[in-house]
Structures are given as structure tokens and as C-alpha cells.
Amino acid sequence: MTRQELIAQIQQKGSYLCVGLDTDLNKIPAHLPKTAEGMLTFNKAVIDATADLCVAYKPNLAFYEQYGTEGWEVLKATVDYIPDHCFVIADAKRGDIGNTAAAYARALFDDLGADAITVAPYMGRDAVTPFLEHEGKWTIVLGLTSNPGAADFQYHGEPKLYERVIRACAEWGSPEQLMYVIGATRPEDMKEVRDMVPDHFFLVPGVGAQGGSLTDVSNAALTADAGLLVNSSRGIIYAGQGEDFATDVRRAASTLAEQMAQFLKA
């Protein structure tokens, strides 16, 4: 999906919502079997309930890879089920270099069919550019994360390490192919990052269960093109636990999407 196609979806739906498919068999509704089949049934129900409200889905690969071949088959079937008008992010946080990075890119872009992959840039340019070589695909670099451990490295130095990472990556990839992960729990820093890279999209985790505020994020970083994909996982996909859980899932997604529509109109 190109940048213009992504922007068109945001404008058409009035939403910059990304739904995280971090499916945990211990948390899905009790009436569903705790099996690969149950996981896929759950994912399909979530997608059916939200596809017209969100512009992206973000399956976290760890929740699928832990089950080996069966898990990968569920992941592949899930990605295949997502409508073509939705952007698919493989949340893999790959961080190797050279031929290994190129192999990861082929696996997730070509075989899985993802539009984007999250990438850890700690090893530098060699860990990022192999993903950028895939035309029509996106690399989403970890820029400034919301976890408490972010302070261990990302804020060190002057300029801070995260600032150096963001500026360097902006020279390797254009706003047409490169995004940044910027955590929702640090809106004051997000504003500074937006000033540094005014045209790049941000993938923003941490709204909802992790305490991030959609209002703070939108005020800090929304652009004329939106420039944001705000992810919610647990707050949406586990909103209901009954046999009609999909109704609650839709209600939770709709609440966020309606708030986003107001920011886009402002």
C-alpha cells in the first residue's frame, strides 16, 4: 500500500486506528476452543467487527510463533483474511543485518504478505536498509518506545540516542516508505519528534491499556495527512468475553474511531 493509498483510507474512514491482533489463548472468550482453530475464529470475528472502522491491523508475531507451524498457519490465514483496503503490519521487531535481514524481509513481505515490518535499528544502517529495498513496502523503525526500560538507553547522551536514531533513519528512508514507532505515553517528546520529522508517519502503541491518551497523541503529532496510526490491542480485542464478544469489540473500536474523526475534522 502506498502512502497516498493509506492517506486515502484514513480520509475515507475518518480514522487512523490500528487494531493490534495480539491474540492470547488465555484471554479469548471461554466458549472458543484454546486451539489454533479458536485463535483463527477469534481473529476473524475481530476483523469482521472492525474492518470498516480501522485502517490497519498489527499482528504481533510472538503470539503466533510460540505455537510453531500451527501458529504460523494461523498468522498467514489471519493476514489473508484481512481486507485489501486495510494496511497490515507484521510486528516482528527484527534487528539483524545483511543476508539475514534480507531473508526476514522476504519471509514477511513476500510469504506472509505484510505491508510493513517493525524493525529494531540498534545495529545501524545494515539492519534497516534491506527492508527498505522492497518496493511498495514499509519499514517501521523503533524510534521512542513507551516501556519503562526505554530510559535505560534511549534517553542517554546529547543529543539523546533516540534523537540520533530518528534523524539518521530519516536519511535512509523517505516518508513514502519509512515510519517510526513512537510510544503514546510520552506526548511531550512526541511533539519534539514531530518537529524533527514532520512528514513521516508514526505508529503509536500505548493508547488505552498502557495509559496513553488519544487526545495528547493527536494534539502532539497529527498532521494534514494524519501522519498517525494509533494502535490499540487489549482495549479493543478483549472488550467482550461473552458469545457476543464481537459486539463489544466493535463498540470499543467505534469509540476510538469516532474520537479520531473529530480530530481529523478540527
CATH number at 201 reads 3.20.20.70
Which grid coordinates are listed for 1?
Answer: 500500500
Q: Report how far residue 106's alpha carbon sits from residue 139's, in angstroms, rounded to the nearest whole number.
A: 13
Picking from 34-38, 144-148, 154-158, which range would have the lowest pLDDT averaged per residue? 144-148
- The range of the structural domain enclosing residue 149 comes to 3-265
SS3 state of residue 254: helix
Q: Report how far residue 112's alpha carbon sits from residue 221's, in angstroms, rounded to the nearest whole number.
A: 31
Q: How far is CA 67 from CA 47, 62, 237, in A?
A: 21, 9, 20
> Which residues lie below 8 Å from residue 213, measured CB to CB, with a gap of 6+?
184, 187, 207
Q: What percent of the chain has a predicted confidence (pLDDT) above 90? A: 95
Q: Which pTM was predicted?
A: 0.97
| pLDDT digit string, tens, across residues 57-75 | 999 999 999 999 999 999 9
Share the mean pLDDT of the chain: 96
Catalytic residue among 76, 93, 160, 191: 93
> Which residues lie below 8 Å from residue 211, measured CB to CB, with a gap of 6+?
185
Helix residue spans in 34-148 (DSSP H): 36-50, 62-65, 68-81, 98-105, 125-132
pLDDT band at 206 (very low <50, low <70, confident <90, very high): confident
Q: Report how far residue 106's alpha carbon sits from residue 110's, in angstroms, rounded to the nearest whole number.
A: 5
| pLDDT digit string, tens, across residues 129-153 | 999 999 999 999 999 998 889 999 9
pLDDT of residue 211: 75
pLDDT band at 209 (very low <50, low <70, confident <90, very high): low
Provide the number of structural domains found in the chain: 1
Q: Is 93 a catalytic residue?
A: yes
